[in-house]
Amino acid sequence: MNEINWEAGAAWMKGELIPVSQASVPVTDWGLTHSDITYDVVHVWDGKFFRLDDYLLRFENSLRKCRLSVEQSRQDMRHILHQIVARSGLRYAYVSFVASRGQPLVAGCRDPRECANHFYAWCVPFVWVFTEDVIERGVRLHVDEQVRRIEQHAVDPTAKNYHWGDFTRALFAAKDAGFDNTLLLDERGNLTEGPGFNIFIIQDGIVYTPRSGVLEGITRQVAMEICAANGVTVQVTDVSLDQALQADELFATTTGGGIIPVTRINNHVFSNDAPGEITSRLRDSYWQLHNDPAMSEAVCY
């Protein structure tokens, strides 16, 4: 019998710890057939969860917004997340926890109220949304003005979800054009977000970030806290593409990598095609916070 490679990842499903390679959902689960899921992702860095309570609180808010109900309390979820990371032995991990609408209680039923909602969680080695070499040289983003973000009146972006039709279409365009990733506009031509990251611009020492059409990212919040602690003004407001192209610096924020410099949008180059000075300072501060006991929670290995 082949030995289980727990370092590839672990999952919790239906009360059991299993290798992540064995985790699955039924083909009739609405999470699969309708992308009817909310989830969240927290990272483990050097054996510690970073800002775990913030992620758990956002997940609880997403459950409410999506009208999903699971039997696990916040403390239950915390215990499960510790369990899977401990079982994997990973010191640097990407940890996802999920609530799915589940299977219809009566086969063929199309009433979302009549489904068995359920919770599961899994972890794998740390996932970088952008590769480390791309981060060092600065991210190059593509904006395709023909692909717009799903309107927030249709799908609430503040409840983390699997609705990636817009992102996937824009990612194909970005990759085909030789860019690292994509950034989507809303129907009014304002910046929203990219797949798995928020965006910030810096102009004349003031930091701006889009106010609508975005997930209220935890790393986004941390970046704003760092700015406030250093006397840097942040404005959460509409940011047009034209305004972004006039910026001095840009950066992205994501659980999968922190504060990340952006050096190009389409053919426009920022900060001499290198990470900007303010962005670099914010990025250093972000990683230093991982040593703050108030920000982290040691995994119970």
Separation of alpha carbons 120 and 26, rounded Å: 13
**Domain ranges across the chain:** 6-125, 132-290
Strands 37-45 and 16-19: unpaired
What topology does CATH give the domain 6-125? D-amino Acid Aminotransferase; Chain A, domain 1 (3.30.470)
Strands 268-269 and 258-265: antiparallel
Strands 181-182 and 139-142: parallel
pLDDT at 175: 97
pLDDT at 271: 92
Separation of alpha carbons 23 and 81, rounded Å: 15
Question: In which residue ranges of the chain is pLDDT below 70?
Answer: 1-2
Interval 195-236: pLDDT, tens: 999 999 999 999 999 999 999 999 999 999 999 999 999 999
CB contact set of 146 (below 8 Å; sequence gap of 6+): none
Separation of alpha carbons 92 and 65, rounded Å: 31
Separation of alpha carbons 47 and 29, rounded Å: 33
What topology does CATH give the domain 132-290? D-amino Acid Aminotransferase; Chain A, domain 2 (3.20.10)
Residue with the two structure tokens 């710890």: 17
Interval 137-171: pLDDT, tens: 999 999 999 999 999 999 999 999 999 999 999 99
Q: Which two tokens stand for residue 31?
A: 């999470």
pLDDT at 1: 52
DSSP for 26-46, please give it.
-TT-HHHHS--EEEEEEEEET
Q: Cβ–Cβ contacts within 10 Å for residue 56, how many? A: 19
